[in-house]
Amino acid sequence: MEFLASEQIAVIDLASGEVTEEEFTDELCQEKIGGAGVNLALYKQYEAEEPVVLGAGLFTGTMVPGSSLGLMTAKSPLTGTVVHTPLTQYAGMELKYSGFDYIVIKGTAAAPSYLWIHDGIADIEDASGLWGLDVWAACDKVRADMGDELIQVLGAGPAAEKGSDLACVMLNYWHGGDRFGLGKALAAKNLKLIAIRGLGLLEIAEDEEFVEQCVELIGQVKSGAWAGKKGLGDLGAAVGENGLADWLAPVLHRSRSDFNTPFAANSFLFLEGDPAELAEPANPEPGVLLAGLDGALGLMKLGLTVAEAGDVALACAKAGLDVSGVASVCAAGGTTEAGAIIAALEDISGPVEGLAGPFSPWTPKQSVFADFGSGDEWWTRRQAVAHIFGLDPLFVLMCPELTEEKLLELASLGTELEFSAEGLEAVIAEVAG
Amino acid sequence: MDALAAYSAFNRELARGVSTAPPAELVGLTRGESLRYPRLGIYTGGGSSHSWLWLAEVFERLGFYDLKFLDAAQVGAGGLAGLDVLVLSGGDTFAMARALGPGGAEAIRDFVEGGGLYLGACAGAYLVMRSSKEPLNQFNLVPATISNLSKILPRALTLPEKYTNAYGCDYVFHPVREAMLLQGQGGPMGQDEFQAPLYGGPAMLPADEVVEVLASYQDFTPGTRFLAPPDLAAETLLGKAAVLRGRLGEGTLYLFGPHFEHPGFAGANRRLARAIYQDMPGGRAKAAPEKADQLAGAGAKALIKAIKRQVSNSRITAVSLEDHPARWLIGDKVYEPAKLRVFLEAIWSRLRPLERASGLAQVPGAEELPDLLAGVTTGIRALKRELAAEDDTTARAAKLFQDLNRAAALFLRMYFASARLGHLDPPAARRLH
């Protein structure tokens, strides 16, 4: 697979310590397109060895608007089913340029380990110096050891090491879209984290036309209904949660977007001092990033102030716990005071109600800002498309311009392969379960 | 087919045997002799900067694969035997002279007197010009002096660290950097104008009529960067010799002020090729090809993977240091962090063809490359930590550049030896054209 790909699949056996490489072929791309389609095929191929499969979508890291998504496919400790957890922010892009299109992690390491994925090399490293560290400390240490602050870290925190069902895959210091407890799945393999960095390049088959069409598409997308909106406050308002923006306001510092995703969905809460203060704070990270509407709403509905919610989210981030799951469990158990919630994080676990299907419910289950679809079936199909092509699962709910027809056209331009609506239909049906 | 590709094609012909009808548009021969494929030696030893990597790059584009990379000890210990051409590029002239010592000076003199062709650019030109200063006085091979010499150091407009070098009680100063317009004055340089970049090289004055001026500095270009006031730069450079040709015994010496081997200047590159064809020794029996054992299969793949692992590790940290303001004075030259990557890219950009090659030439010392490069990785990571701690890193940087230089020379030796064995097609695989 010469275009939009690195042509390599890594198969990492943690039990034996062996890493083998397979070719990512035109045939596999033609049949499964990319992202969740290929991830699921590889999961099934190695199913007996309880794999965790990492992959990027066909367009991840390209100029296609919203092209931020990587994904992790594995059996969820919470649902017992195979799920696709979104790897947002900058993790998906880095994975795409890592020199591997897909990474199969199978078996269990004999001792705490971590993976160092870089420029087409997959190294299994000793994690004895990382095991037991909180998410932030582990991220800092691996970046310092490997000598680069831009390394993207998919991490399992102390909660995962203790076997909590709410232990999610963390993206560097922050939460992403994992609601399925895949941090626990990593820790069960004795895997503390996966560090990724790549300085690779992607070739595009019909490069000029691909770029021209992307530029045209960006122009169309930019004038969409989402234009001028940002952050979790506006996102909440779009789905009827009008109080969220006012609740966030006292500590809201900035909104941050994911790679090449025009809508800045993530809200950074400034927990030390005045968020309007322009001076550089002494503490390099004086707050926490809220990266999911469900988590923010869950904490708000517990009756916490936003500052208290920030403290809870920060403690969850360091422990590697899903904020949304924590809010859900605390609500069910009647724990609604911030100090008590933080104290309970030490041994909190599931179950979490309402998880179903292969895609994370971290996005609203409807179109957002623009009205172009609703209902479970529509949402599931839209998520499947995002997870196949590597597009931000939230942004695709805002952009009717990102049609399946346009994505298929770009796929053919980018790869020189022929993709059909029927082929896409089959992959959607497969990944949507 | 572009001009350099035409040279590459012609050299492939030459590599298969003697050409009795060299195309005049490529080689410009006037001596009416047949041509054969030359063996070129590139000096990589003490005092050389990274610019010898440009030589490797350009010779690869031109199709000169019969390259030998020599350090100072090899030059003095019979390493010039069998060479047709010896090339010394930029660096620290005094350090080069000290490294080569009297034995190296004698070996170079013997090489030229015996019919060899010496090409010296920048420091490689200064080295063999007339000088009374120790240790340069051992290398007085061409009766020429320089005009960029002053008893009073003129004011520097910018880049003071690149502006001057002490020369006894005087100063060698470098009034401009980057592209200059040159005027060809015959021989392989032709009669037309062309551009070549100047990075501290000399403006020359022939001191004897047996020395021919083949090109002179004609004018500045929009890309010229002035380090001295323009009027002083004009007075120092314009009309002065940019390329000289001298004779010694049976052999020939070319002195280039600008870097004709810079890969961004195809016109200068072509003239460099023509100089080789024009004045390489004729009539001698072709030197026997260097013998190299072959490494194939799993052993070859493991070696390349081990090299790739460490180059990737080093490169990732080196990239993260590129914007660091650190500068190191090593010998008489100032180095900056971006130079680290130059050596690494010279290896990295050639790994792909070797990964796909049917086999490798097993050159002595190649098996040391993984350990040597692992040391570079450790060194670059330590350098980053020490820079963050604001420690003095000069000794660390000097050792790193020394190791990088050695690793690049060793790797390129293996690469070009593999190319000569027909295991890879570098220009096609690296998409050089």
- DSSP per position, B295-331: E-HHHHHHHHHHHHHHHHHHHHHHHHTTT----EEET
**Those residues with Cβ within 8 angstroms of residue A429's Cβ, 6 or more apart along the chain or in another chain:** none
Using CA atoms, how far apart are residues A253 and B327, in angstroms rounded to an integer? 37
- Domain membership flag for residue B288: no
Least confident stretch, A276-285, A326-335, A371-380: A276-285
Distance CA B235, CA B217 (A): 11
Degrees to nearest 5, angle at CA B147 with B118 and B110: 20
Helical spans, DSSP H, in A279-417? 293-301, 306-319, 323-333, 338-344, 376-389, 404-415
Per mean pLDDT, which range of A142-146, A359-363, B355-359, B400-404 is the poorest? B355-359
Same-domain pairing of B105 and B156: yes
Give me the helix-helix angle, B394-420 and B369-388, nearest 10°.
150
Residue B46 CB burial class (10 angstroms; 0-12, 13-18, ≥19): buried
pLDDT at B287 exceeding the cut of 60: no
- Residues in B touching A98 (Cβ below 8 Å): none
Which domain CATH number covers B308?
1.20.1410
Is A123 in Cβ contact with B316 (below 8 Å)? no
Q: Is residue A113 a contact partner of residue A124, using CB atoms and an 8 Å limit?
A: yes
Residue B286 reports pLDDT greater than 60: no
Greater confidence, A233 or B20? Answer: A233
From residue A200, alpha-carbon distances to A28, A93, B370 in Å are 22, 11, 21
Burial code (b: 16+ CB inside 10 Å, e: under 16) for A387-424 equals bbbbbbbbbbbbbbbbebeebbebbbbbbebebeeebb
CA B413/CA B408 separation, integer angstroms: 8
Per-residue pLDDT tens for A344-397? 999 999 888 889 999 999 999 999 999 999 999 999 999 999 999 999 999 999
**Contact indicator for A360, A178 with CB cutoff of 8 Å:** yes
A396: left (phi over 0), alpha (psi -120 to 50) or beta: alpha
Whether B285 maps to a domain, the answer reads no
> What is the per-residue pLDDT across A224-249, written as a single tens digit (0 to 9) for each?
999 999 999 999 999 999 999 999 99
Q: Which member of A120, A144, A199 has the closest CB to residue B316?
A: A199
pLDDT above 80 (res B139): yes
Give the residue-averaged pLDDT of A310-329.
97
Q: Which residues on A lie below 8 Å from B320 (Cβ)?
A: 147-150
Range of the domain at B420: 293-429
CA-CA distance, A320 to A169, in Å (whole number)? 7
- How far, CA to CA in Å, does B291 sit from each of A83, B41, B294, B364, B421? 57, 16, 10, 11, 10
- CA torsion B23-B29-B35-B41 (nearest 10°) is -110
What's the per-residue H, E or C state across A371-403?
Answer: CCCECHHHHHHHHHHHHHHCCCCCHHHCCCCCC
Section B350-357 average pLDDT = 91
CA distances from A48 to A44, A55, A175 (A): 8, 19, 30
Cα separation, A306 vs A244, in Å, equals 10
Identify whether B284 is part of a domain: no
How far is Cα B225 from Cα B72, in angstroms, rounded to an integer?
Answer: 33
Same domain, B227 and B316: no
Angle among Cα A198, A201, A202 to the nearest 5 degrees reads 125
Mutate to test the interface with B, among A7, A123, A146 (most CBs of B within 10 A): A146
For residue A19, give the H/E element and its range: strand A18-23
CA of A197 to nearest chain B CA: how many angstroms apart?
Answer: 8
Domain count across chain B: 2
C-alpha distances (whole Å) from B322 to each of A357, B49, B319, B334, B408 are: 46, 18, 5, 15, 19
Q: Cα(A155)–Cα(A137) distance, rounded to whole angstroms?
A: 11
Domain boundary among B235, B253, B279: B279
Cβ-nearest to B309 among A121, A146, A147? A121
The whole-number pLDDT of residue B23 equals 81
Separation of alpha carbons A169 and A73, rounded Å: 12
Band (pLDDT 50/70/90 cuts) for residue B429 is very low
User: Do B158 and B22 share a domain, yes or no?
Assistant: yes
Check if B385 contacts A (Cβ < 8 Å).
yes
Output DSSP code: residue B368: G
Task: Report whether the peptide linkage leading into residue B160 is cis, meaning its omega lies within 30 degrees of zero.
Answer: no
Tokens 């350009």 — which residue? B58
Look-up: residue for tokens 């191929």?
A45
Exposed, middle or buried by CB within 10 Å (0-12, 13-18, 19+), for A202?
middle
Nearest chain A Cα distance for residue B311, angstroms: 10
Same domain, residue pair B301 and B179: no
| Shortest Cα–Cα distance, A119 to chain B (Å) | 6
Query: Contact at 8 Å (CB) between B191 and B185?
Result: yes
* pLDDT above 80 for B432: no
* Interface test with chain B among A8, A115, A119, A125, by most B beta carbons within 10 Å: A119
Q: Annotate A61-82 with DSSP letters as a single string.
A: TSSSTTTT-EEEEEE-TTTSSE
Distance CA A307, CA A301 (A): 14
Q: Are A19 and A10 in contact (CB under 8 A)?
A: yes
- Cβ <8 Å between A119 and B316: yes
- Given pLDDT bands bounded at 50, 70 and 90, which one contains residue B433? very low
The answer to whether residues B123 and B89 touch, using CB atoms and an 8 Å cutoff, is yes
- Distance between CA atoms of B74 and A20, rounded to whole angstroms? 41
Query: How confident is the model at residue B427, as a pLDDT?
Result: 52
Q: What is the mean pLDDT of residues B406-427?
A: 86
**Which of the two residues, A13 and B170, has the higher pLDDT score?**
A13
A411 CA: distance to closest CA in chain B (Å): 24
**pLDDT (average), residues B325-343:** 93
Report the C-alpha gap between B284 and B144 in whole angstroms: 29
Q: How far is residue A340's CA from residue A326's CA, in Å, rounded to a whole number?
A: 12
The ranges assigned to domains in chain A are 231-347
Contact A118 B381 (CB under 8 A): no
Distance, CA of B32 to CA of A432 (rounded, Å) = 75
Answer yes or no: do A146 and B319 touch at CB < 8 A: no
Contact A121 B316 (CB under 8 A): no
Tell me: the pLDDT tens digits for B73-111? 999 999 999 999 999 999 999 999 999 999 999 999 999
The answer, yes or no, to whether the previous bond of B353 is cis (omega within 30 of 0) is: no
Contact A393, A402 (CB under 8 A): no
Q: Average pLDDT, stretch B21-35? A: 75
Residues B247 and B210: beta-carbon distance below 8 Å: yes
User: Which candidate, B230, B281, B273, places its Cα nearest to that of B251?
Assistant: B281
Q: Is the pLDDT of residue A287 over 70?
A: yes
Query: Residue B308: its chain A contacts at CB < 8 A?
Result: 119-121
**CATH code at position B146:** 3.40.50.880
Please give the Cα distance from B123 to B98 (Å, whole number): 13
Report the pLDDT value the prediction gives residue B428, as an integer from 0 to 100. Answer: 46
Rounded to whole angstroms, how far apart are CA atoms B306 and A235? 48
User: Do B175 and B157 touch, CB atoms closer than 8 A?
Assistant: no
Residue A389 CB partners (closer than 8 Å, separation 6+)? A33, A34, A35, A57, A58, A59, A64, A407, A411
B332 or A293, which is more confident?
A293
The size of the A-B interface in CB pairs under 8 A is 39
φ, ψ of residue A67 to 5 degrees: the values are -85, 50
Nearest to B315 among A145, A151, A199 (CB): A199
* CA separation for the pair A100, B68 (Å, rounded): 35
Q: How far is CA B176 from the centre of its chain?
A: 20
Query: ipTM score of the complex?
Result: 0.95
Q: Is A138 helix (H, G, I), strand (E, B) or coil?
A: helix
pLDDT at B317: 98
Neighbours of B368 (CB within 10 A): 12
Residue A387 Cα, gap to closest chain B Cα (Å)? 29
Q: Decide if B380 touches A, using CB distance below 8 A.
A: yes
Chain A touched by B98 (CB under 8 Å): no
B259 and B147, same structural domain?
yes
- The answer to whether residues B167 and B212 belong to one domain is yes
Query: For residues A154-165, b (16+ Cβ closer than 10 Å) or e, as one string?
Result: bbbbbbbbbebb
Q: How far is CA B378 from CA A19, A140, B323, B375, in A?
A: 23, 18, 20, 5
What is the separation of C-alpha B403 from the centre of its chain, rounded to a whole number of angstroms? 18
Same domain membership, residue B299 and residue B204 = no
Residue of B304, B312, B381 to mutate, testing the A interface (most A Cβ within 10 Å of its Cβ):
B312
Confidence of residue A103 (pLDDT cuts 50, 70, 90): very high
Distance in angstroms (rounded) separating the CA atoms of residues A348 and A334:
13
What is the per-residue pLDDT across A180-189, written as a single tens digit (0 to 9) for each? 999 999 999 9
| Residues of B (297-336) whose Cβ lies below 8 Å from A | 305, 308-309, 312-313, 315-317, 319-320
pLDDT over threshold 90, residue B378: yes
Environment class of B174 (CB within 10 Å of its CB; exposed 0-12, middle 13-18, buried 19+): buried
B377 in the same domain as B273: no
Residue that terminates a domain, selected from B251, B279, B307: B279
The predicted structure's pLDDT at residue B32: 60
- pLDDT per position as a tens digit, B301-312: 999 999 999 999
DSSP state of A433: -
List residues of A whose CB lies inside 8 A of any B CB.
118-121, 123, 144-151, 197, 199
Q: Which residues of B touch A121 (CB under 8 A)?
A: 305, 308-309, 312
Q: Is the pLDDT of residue B431 over 50?
A: no
Could you identify the residue written with the tokens 């194939």?
A: B296
Assess if residue B287 is contained within a domain: no
- Chain A residues with CB under 8 Å of B384 CB are 147
Spell out where B117-211 has E strands. Answer: 117-121, 144-146, 149-150, 164-167, 170-173, 176-184, 193-199, 204-206
* B341 interfaces chain A, CB cutoff of 8 Å: no
CB neighbours of residue B432 within 10 Å: 16
Angle between helical axes of A404-415 and A207-222 (0-180°, round to 10): 150
Q: What is the pLDDT of residues A52-85, one digit of tens each?
A: 999 999 999 999 999 999 999 999 999 999 999 9
Judge whether A269 and A244 are in contact, CB under 8 Å. Answer: no
Among residues B55, B109, B101, B52, the alpha carbon closest in space to that of B80 is found at B109
Q: pLDDT per residue over A399-424, tens digit each?
A: 999 999 999 999 999 999 999 999 99
> Which chain B residues have a beta carbon less than 8 Å from that of A120?
308, 312
